[in-house]
């Protein structure tokens, strides 16, 4: 046997060189992530504690989406509006304008939360799902821990003032990533610019989405604004362009205008200064390795996950993938057996390592064939 290393060079393209000056985002804390690769492109005190304000409503929506996905909740199910929920529609808060005793569908409540940022809709949904907002908040915090939000506690469903309702921009990014990845069909609601609710006993109410980036021609399709006097303005945002998605979260913007301008600046920075490279699609053949004493002389291998990498503009030629294994590999080989390693190298430095698995079973040849192959090897060497 001998050590086999196959170099698979990724497509090299020529790009104009960019001057990658560091940017400064005028916010107390901010983060930018490439969605497909998961890599962080910018951060500014990303683990600093914040009051997430209405960005809390992302988790409120996620709890409902998860229950719908599992079959424990339906969009046409209706919840009765309590006095507690109604009071938040009369106190100057962002509201859907529900009335006590109304029966409102889960779908309308969700759109009232996502588009109109209704605090009253949050309480109605929370009470309908968990009985009380307090119990619902426990569900929210439990879900946060489950998906890796290690510095978050939810004390209510809407994000209104409460010192025990806290998070970080990194955790909000993790939550946003989960939303987009696990509930793409519902995530589409976050880009809707207005919501009309045909309320009980009154004229229909139409309200616009508060996300300023939706009204710019930049491809933004979410996610959620926030404001508290103590925290100032915040925004979790996402943009998709030419198959590439970025997620940005910032908090502590001084003005509405600054929130819009700086969030746009951060997303644009990620698009214009970095390229996304697709290296491997999960469960699809990536390359092949040689087989010894098998009924086929080689077998294709694949990765169990999608592999993407982010690199600076104009640097694709520095990115390489190496298939490394001890081979040829002796049969029999089982389907799904790990046969090699995929090594990702950028500018001669390793940046990732992944298992490569056999795409099919390879049986060993019979005894006569094995003897002939061994004899040929002794006489002729590796042929």
Identify whether 230 is preceded by a cis peptide bond (ω within 30 of 0).
no
Give alpha helix (H) positions in 115-154. Answer: 119-130, 133-146
* Residue 20 CA: distances (Å) to CA of 28, 270, 273: 22, 11, 7
- Residue 258 annotated to the active site: no
Per-residue DSSP letter, 294: B
State the Cα–Cα distance between residues 342 and 282, nearest whole angstrom: 13
Contact 177, 236 (CB under 8 A): no
What is the four-CA torsion angle of 39, 44, 45, 50, rounded to 10 degrees? -100
> Quick one: how many helices (H) and strands (E) in the chain?
9, 18
Contact 224, 54 (CB under 8 A): yes
Out of 37, 44, 57, 191, the active site residue is: 57
State the Cα–Cα distance between residues 261 and 25, nearest whole angstrom: 10
Out of 82, 94, 117, 251, the active site residue is: 117
- Residue 143 annotated to the active site: no
Out of 37, 44, 54, 89, the active site residue is: 54
Closest CA to 252 of 86, 74, 50: 50
- Residue 117 annotated to the active site: yes
Closest CA to 227 of 262, 187, 259, 265: 259
Six token digits for residue 196: 């009309």
Beta bridge mates, 195:
207
Give catalytic residue positions.
54, 57, 117
């Amino acid at each position: 046997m001998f050590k086999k290393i196959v170099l698979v060079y990724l497509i090299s393209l020529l790009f104009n060189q960019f001057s990658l000056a560091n940017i400064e985002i005028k916010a107390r804390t901010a983060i930018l992530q490439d969605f497909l690769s998961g890599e962080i492109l910018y951060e500014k005190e990303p683990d600093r504690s914040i009051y997430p304000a209405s960005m809390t409503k992302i988790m409120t929506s996620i709890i409902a989406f998860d229950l719908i996905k599992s079959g424990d909740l339906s969009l046409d199910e209706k919840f009765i509006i309590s006095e507690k929920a109604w009071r938040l529609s009369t106190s100057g808060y962002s509201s859907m304008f529900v009335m006590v005793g109304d029966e409102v569908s889960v779908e309308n409540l969700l759109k009232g939360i996502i588009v109109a940022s209704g605090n009253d809709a949050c309480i109605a949904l929370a009470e309908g799902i968990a009985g009380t907002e307090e119990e619902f908040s426990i569900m929210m915090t439990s879900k946060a821990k489950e998906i890796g939000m290690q510095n978050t506690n939810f004390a209510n469903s809407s994000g209104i003032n409460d010192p025990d309702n806290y998070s970080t921009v990194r955790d909000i990014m993790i939550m946003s990533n989960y939303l987009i990845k696990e509930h793409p069909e519902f995530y589409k609601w976050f880009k809707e610019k207005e919501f009309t609710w045909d309320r009980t006993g009154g004229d229909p109410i139409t309200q616009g989405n508060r996300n300023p980036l939706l009204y710019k021609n930049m491809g933004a399709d979410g996610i959620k604004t926030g404001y508290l006097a103590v925290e100032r303005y915040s925004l979790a945002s996402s943009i998709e362009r030419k198959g590439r998605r970025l997620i940005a979260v910032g908090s502590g913007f001084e003005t509405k205008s600054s929130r819009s301008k700086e969030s746009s600046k951060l997303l644009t920075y990620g698009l214009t200064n970095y390229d996304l490279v697709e290296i491997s699609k999960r469960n699809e053949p990536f390359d092949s390795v040689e087989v010894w004493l098998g009924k086929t002389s080689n077998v294709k291998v694949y990765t169990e996950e999608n592999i993407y990498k982010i690199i600076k503009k104009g640097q694709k030629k520095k990115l390489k993938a190496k298939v490394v294994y001890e081979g040829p590999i002796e049969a029999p080989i089982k389907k799904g057996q790990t046969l090699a390693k995929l090594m990702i190298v950028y500018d001669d430095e390793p940046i990732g390592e992944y298992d490569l698995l056999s795409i099919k079973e390879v049986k060993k040849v019979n005894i006569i064939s094995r003897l002939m192959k061994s004899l040929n090897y002794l006489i002729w060497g590796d042929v």
